[in-house]
C-alpha cells in the first residue's frame, strides 16, 4: 500500500485532504490511483491512517479515513547526521539515503574545507529542495514520521547545540581513533550525533574543538571514503546496529 504525508491540520474526523500539488500529481498521474483504492497516510505526530481514495482533483486529493492508530514507533536509539555539503548536487542523494535509513535529523554542514559557497538565498533554495527530497524518501521508505531537516549550519553552531546528545562521534582520518563498532558497544545512548566531514577531512582545529565538546573520534576502516559514501555507511551501520538491540 502506498503511503503519503499529510499535516494534521488537513485531517478531520473522517476525511483527509492532501493539498500538496506534488503528492496530488503523484497519486493521480504517476500511480494512477482510482476511487476506493487504499492508501496509507502519516502525520507529523506519527499517527497512521488507512484510507480510501474518495475524489481526485488537479490540486488536491480527498481521502476517506477507514482506520487510524498512533504508532509511536520511534527507535530506542535515534541518530542524527550533520554532513558537510559536497560539491555538485550530491547532497540531494545524501538527504534521500539518510531519510530512507531512518535518520531522525539531518543537518547540512559548513566546515573549514567545504568548497561550496552558499549565500542566504541559495541556502533557502537548497533547503526547500532538500525538504521535498526528504518528504518523497519518507513516503517511499514507508516511514511513519518525517525526518527533521535543519537549515544549513556552520560547524561551530552544530558543536554548540550538541550538548543534548548522549553519544557524539566524529569519523576522521586523523587523531587517535576507535572502531565505530567498538564505540557503539561501549555506550547505550538514547540519541547519537554523527559529524561527517568534507573531502579532505575536518581540520585539526575542528577535531580538537569537537573532542573538547565530547565527540569521540572513530574509524570507518582503512578506505578513504567520499562524503556521500561515509554518510550512508555510518547511517547504515547505526540503523542495523540499533535494530538488533
* pTM of the full structure: 0.86
Cell 488507512, residue?
50
Contacts of residue 41, defined as CB under 8 A and 6 or more positions apart, other chains included, come to: 3, 4, 5, 6, 11, 16, 18, 48, 49, 51, 63
Task: Please choose, from the candidates 73, 78, 76, the residue with its C-alpha nearest in 3D space to the C-alpha of residue 191.
Answer: 78
Q: Which pLDDT band, with edges at 50, 70 and 90, does 194 fall under? A: very high
pLDDT at 39 over 90: yes
User: For the chain, what percent of residues have pLDDT higher than 70?
Assistant: 98
Task: Please choose, from the candidates 135, 130, 132, the residue with its C-alpha nearest in 3D space to the C-alpha of residue 146.
Answer: 135
Domains and CATH numbers, the chain: 3-70 (2.40.240.20), 78-243 (3.40.1280.10)
pLDDT at 74: 57
pLDDT at 70: 75
Q: Which pLDDT band, with edges at 50, 70 and 90, does 75 fall under? A: low
Report the run of H or E that residue 100 belongs to, with start and end. helix 90-100
Mean pLDDT of 206-226: 93
Residue 58 phi/psi, 5-degree rounding, is: -65, -35
Q: pLDDT per residue over 81-112, tens digit each?
A: 999 999 988 999 999 999 999 999 999 999 99
pLDDT at 209: 96
Amino acid at each position: 500500500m502506498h503511503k503519503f504525508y499529510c499535516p494534521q491540520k488537513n485531517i478531520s474526523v473522517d476525511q483527509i485532504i492532501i493539498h500538496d500539488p506534488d503528492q496530488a500529481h503523484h497519486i493521480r498521474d504517476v500511480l494512477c490511483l482510482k476511487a476506493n483504492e487504499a492508501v496509507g497516510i502519516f502525520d507529523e505526530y506519527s499517527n497512521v491512517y488507512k484510507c480510501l481514495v474518495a475524489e481526485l482533483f488537479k490540486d488536491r486529493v480527498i481521502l476517506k479515513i477507514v482506520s487510524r492508530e498512533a504508532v509511536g514507533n520511534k527507535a530506542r536509539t535515534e541518530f542524527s547526521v550533520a554532513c558537510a555539503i559536497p560539491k555538485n548536487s550530491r547532497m540531494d542523494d545524501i538527504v534521500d539515503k539518510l531519510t530512507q535509513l531512518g535518520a531522525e535529523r539531518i543537518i547540512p554542514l559548513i566546515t573549514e574545507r567545504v568548497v561550496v559557497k552558499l549565500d542566504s538565498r541559495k541556502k533557502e533554495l537548497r533547503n526547500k529542495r532538500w525538504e521535498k527530497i526528504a518528504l518523497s524518501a519518507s513516503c517511499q521508505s514507508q516511514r511513519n514520521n518525517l525526518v527533521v531537516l535543519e537549515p544549513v549550519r556552520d560547524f561551530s553552531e552544530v558543536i554548540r547545540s550538541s550538548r543534548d546528545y548522549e553519544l557524539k562521534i566524529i569519523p576522521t582520518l586523523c587523531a587517535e581513533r576507535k572502531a565505530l563498532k567498538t564505540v557503539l558497544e561501549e555506550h547505550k545512548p538514547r540519541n547519537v550525533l554523527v559529524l561527517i566531514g568534507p573531502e579532505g577531512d575536518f581540520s585539526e582545529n575542528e577535531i580538537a574543538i569537537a573532542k573538547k565538546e565530547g565527540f569521540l573520534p572513530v574509524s570507518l576502516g582503512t578506505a578513504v571514503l567520499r562524503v556521500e559514501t561515509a554518510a550512508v555507511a555510518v547511517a547504515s551501520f547505526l540503523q542495523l546496529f540499533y535494530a538488533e538491540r
